[in-house]
Amino acid sequence: MIRVAIANQKGGVGKTTTAINIATAMAATGWKTLLIDLDPQGNASTGIGIAAADRLRSSYDLLVDEATVAECVMPTAIPGLDILPATVDLSGAEVELVAVENRTDRLRNALARENGYDIAFIDCPPSLGLLTLNALTAADTLLVPLQCEFFALEGLSQLLQTVERVQQRFNPDLGIIGVALTMFDRRNRLTDQVADDVRSCLGGLVFDSTIPRNVRLSEAPSHGLPALVYDHACAGSRAYMALARELIARLPEQRKAA
């Protein structure tokens, strides 16, 4: 199972939207897919149609109580896609794990015992605490959603430094499979400038596909549906399908590296 963390410590850059829709796209192309909600807000769980009252077990149980993946996962309405949901209990996990031995390895150990999926996407919270550290320690690679605005570049620099520290201390095999430019608005000159700066800095690491600002992407979570199901023909859905195709093309390299 390839494990992909979707992370950026800056909030509001499209992490959860990317996690939901890229997982849906992968499932639609035949990959047995697991979406892991590691954000206490539980937006990925809600956005995929899992009501809070239905989340009997969650990523909290996995990390704190060492429940198995099989005990915590739930099916979704998307064929081939399961979710490991989050509840508000997860907000206390960082405090509860502080005194626990091997606290950064809880997720990696749990996923090491699970082989029923081809790929797992981990939706991280907008911070660099223990939850994100667990995700980066467990992941084979990192997908970074990056909003096309000025402060995003500063956040990217901090994230790259964090990845380097994780490689040194916890997970030497962690790589970055790509940076996805989100909330792209061609009417805004700054958007093109930021995109050009990111591409000049990171080169081929940046995906060719860009995710546009799109009303249908914003509406879909309120219906408990991925945008690819809510409106498969909208610009946002087409962009995520294109991103999934690029991701699939890069995954054989990741699998070989692993």
CB 180 within 8 A of CB 243: yes
- What mean pLDDT do residues 173-196 have? 86
CA 75 to chain centre: 18
Q: What contacts 167, CB < 8 A, 6 or more positions away? A: 174
Mean pLDDT of the chain: 90
- Please state, in angstroms and rounded to a whole number, the distance separating the CA atoms of residues 148 and 254: 26
* Tens digits of residue pLDDT in 130-139: 999 999 999 9
Confidence of residue 227 (pLDDT cuts 50, 70, 90): very high
Instruction: Give how far Cα 94 sits from Cα of 15, 66, 122, 125, Å.
Output: 20, 14, 17, 12
pLDDT at 144 (0 to 100) = 93
Of 123, 97, 92, the residue nearest 109 (C-alpha) = 97
- What mean pLDDT do residues 229-258 have? 84
